[in-house]
Structure 1
Amino acid sequence: MEMSKVYYTNLRTRIGDNLLQKLERLIKTAGIGDIDFEDKYTAIKMHFGEPGNLAFLRPNYAKTVADVIKELGGKPFLTDCNTLYIGGRKNALDHISSAYLNGFSPFSTGCHVIIADGLKGTDDVLVPVEGGEYVKEAKIGRAIMDADVFISLTHFKGHEATGFGGALKNMGMGCGSRAGKMEMHSAGKPHVAQELCVGCKMCTKMCAHDAITVAEKKASIDHNKCVGCGRCIGACPKDAVKAATDESYDILNRKIAEYTKAAINGRPNFHISLVMNVSPYCDCHGENDAAIVPDVGMFASFDPVALDVACADAVNAQPVLANTYLAECDHEGHDHFGTIFPETDWKAAIDHAVKLGIGQKEYELVEVK
């Protein structure tokens, strides 16, 4: 089998050239123009950054990608799904406000922001996962599934549950609705934090299985009736309904691969990862720690698996920066991500994605000047 091509450009520039021009050159050389974008709705899946975090990708990069898509006749929009945890992106209104706060407005990027799973994170589509071992039907944000073309634009960084956050993490976890995120994180079913519940009964209205009852202004979930759909999590105005986060990291990674397949299967897709400001933790944090290695460059490929492996290899080839979390760890071997989060194994997602036919680990790195 021919190796997948991963295109790469470094972050060096000269007078008359800049990083945005290099990004445009990169994705065009990598073949984004081979996709038929004419009058096609195109989802650009990215992370807008939790308010307070400054490691997320600048909106200038999103504008460059959107401009290329418009040049090719497409109709791009920036998108993400709501978060499972409490924060600045748990519902569509807060999420859009956070995106605007961090610079992702139609005026700065040339395209609109659409939160894919709706106002409360309950607007999703059940998508069959061909070959899925853990997930038979993924709960994917509706706007993402309504798109004709799928593009991922990823900030490549560390992650405390998956080792690193690359293209697979951006797509798999990121395209899941709030219920989908619960399914990936949880081996069980949601429960009610009684001290937060006010007995408003919004959860009972959302439950299709009569699993929730309210007595003395406190809701309870009958796990014998509950199917674990997670709708009640999005319905609760007080964040009293909690998902268990009890799934093992290996299975979480494999579920992410299965959600990725659901999100991109059967339609044109293309993937871009920027390996810069490689913070140890996810951009979902309301803060960011110092980058653990020097900035590397920009990568693009039609194969998200090869792309993740190429980015991981590039990071692991870098020296450890002083005064960082990685420098404080006992370093063994050549896996920076395994060093900072030894309880994780990022290869679990890669190997499962290969098994699912999403892509391959072997790649040819093609440098773009």
Structure 2
Amino acid sequence: MSEKVYFIEAAENEDDSSLCWRMEVAIQAEHLLDSIVERDVVAVKTHFGESKKLGYARPLHLKMLGDAVKSKGGVPFLTETSTLYKGHRSDAISHIAHAHSQGFDYSSTGMPIIMADGLFGDEESVVPIEGKVYSAVHIAALLAKCNSLIVVSHFTGHLAAGFGAALKNIGMGCASRKGKMEQHSNAKPKIVVKKCTGCETCVKWCPQDAITMNDEVAVIDDAKCIGCGECLAMCRFDAVKFNWGATYEELQKKVVEHAMGVCSLFPEKGLYINVLTRISKDCDCMGHTFEQIVPDIGILISRDPVALDAASLDLVEKRAGKVLSQLAYDIPYRFQLDYAAELGFGSLEYDLIKC
């Protein structure tokens, strides 16, 4: 069955306020928040970005959504989870401080930030699912206590999943620390000794202190490595390699099954939004130089995250005139969509409705 995906087309570098106003009109016209009732607690999940250089969803997008939820009588808050890797977002205190520095403070969004997985990312709920990898998944505890969920994702390329959008933001971004580690457990990097310059960048960025130096060459301890890919992203000399053929399917399966678990908590009260502007080769977790790979496209909204991601991917490739593997990473990126459909979690068929 085809699912509705609403499309607000953007001009290149369109002002955020203009795009937000048109998104608000579409949400009201299509009654997309009518499932929210008085005093519903509404989690608004987004990604605050690692750097101001990147293309994350902007605070103004969130303010509009928060105001729209309040107009329905709902009680919204912004939420996120802690990362596995080192940086500004590995615990609640530093993550919230970083979000404020990125412009996501209360005065800008009208919503408080409450971390869904607690102070250190270890507060979780176990959600039963009918998956092929898991019978239950570990997600951030606070989400199980909410009445409604809105997920705002920024579409990007991704070094392990091919692309990151709603499914990635839900599956990985709403998992507890244990859930994240379970998803990453099969993908392990290797050092190409001949290419390693001994710069120690990978040592600095490894979240588990799994990399040390031996005779000025990096060495990865497989027992400590969680397969997050931070070393691959940060190495400037192509000295880190993954065996993607052995790992990409397993990772994407795990992401999809965690996303299915999260969405199962909100069968009639979930709304999913993808922002297709400032689209980059790497996900917004990476704090290095921004590289836009396709012109701005717009904003897509759906009640089905699978249909939403399918429509987003199709629009990106149509606008670029290339498949995503030519724009970002050469990974079979459509696997996550096909697997979600195989599980009966969402639809690959969609009706694109221009607003």
Structure 1 length as normaliser, TM-score?
0.78
5 Å matches for 1:1-369?
1=1, 3-12=2-11, 18-51=18-51, 53-129=53-129, 131-187=130-186, 193=210, 242-245=225-228, 248-267=247-266, 268-319=269-320, 334-337=322-325, 339-342=327-330, 344-368=331-355
Q: What runs of 5+ residues in structure 2 fail to find an aligned partner?
A: 189-206, 214-222, 229-241
Native 8 Å contact 1:51 1:88 kept in 2: no
Amino acid at match of 2:226: A
Q: CA deviation at 1:53?
A: 4.2
1:119-143 Cα distance to aligned partner (Å, 9 max, x none)? 11111111112x2111222111111
Amino acid at match of 2:335: A
Between stretches 105-114 and 286-295, larger displacement belongs to: 286-295
Native 8 Å contact 2:293 2:327 kept in 1: no
Native 8 Å contact 1:274 1:297 kept in 2: yes
1:147-174 Cα distance to aligned partner (Å, 9 max, x none)? 1101111111111111111110110010
Amino acid at match of 1:8: F
CA RMSD of aligned residues (A): 2.7
* Alignment partners' CA distance in 2, 1:291 and 1:194: 30
Native 8 Å contact 1:51 1:98 kept in 2: no
Native 8 Å contact 1:305 1:350 kept in 2: yes
Give the 3-state SS of the residue equivalent to 1:248 in structure 2: helix
- Structure 2 vs 1, CA of residues 337 and 37 (structure 1 numbering), >3 Å: closer, same or farther? farther
1:193-249 Cα distance to aligned partner (Å, 9 max, x none)? 5979xxxxxxxxxxxxxxxxxxxxxxxxxx9xxxxxxxxxxxxxxxxx652458711
Give the 3-state SS of the residue equivalent to 1:309 in structure 2: helix
- Structure 2 vs 1, CA of residues 125 and 360 (structure 1 numbering), >3 Å: closer, same or farther? same
User: Bigger radius of gyration, 1 or 2?
Assistant: 1
Q: CA deviation at 1:352?
A: 1.5
Amino acid at match of 1:255: K
Q: CA deviation at 1:103?
A: 0.6
Give the 3-state SS of the residue equivalent to 1:115 in structure 2: coil
Percent of aligned pairs with the same amino acid: 36
* Alignment partners' CA distance in 2, 1:91 and 1:169: 20
Native 8 Å contact 2:81 2:175 kept in 1: yes
Native 8 Å contact 1:152 1:167 kept in 2: yes
Native 8 Å contact 1:305 1:361 kept in 2: yes
Give the 3-state SS of the residue equivalent to 1:26 in structure 2: helix
Native 8 Å contact 2:162 2:332 kept in 1: yes
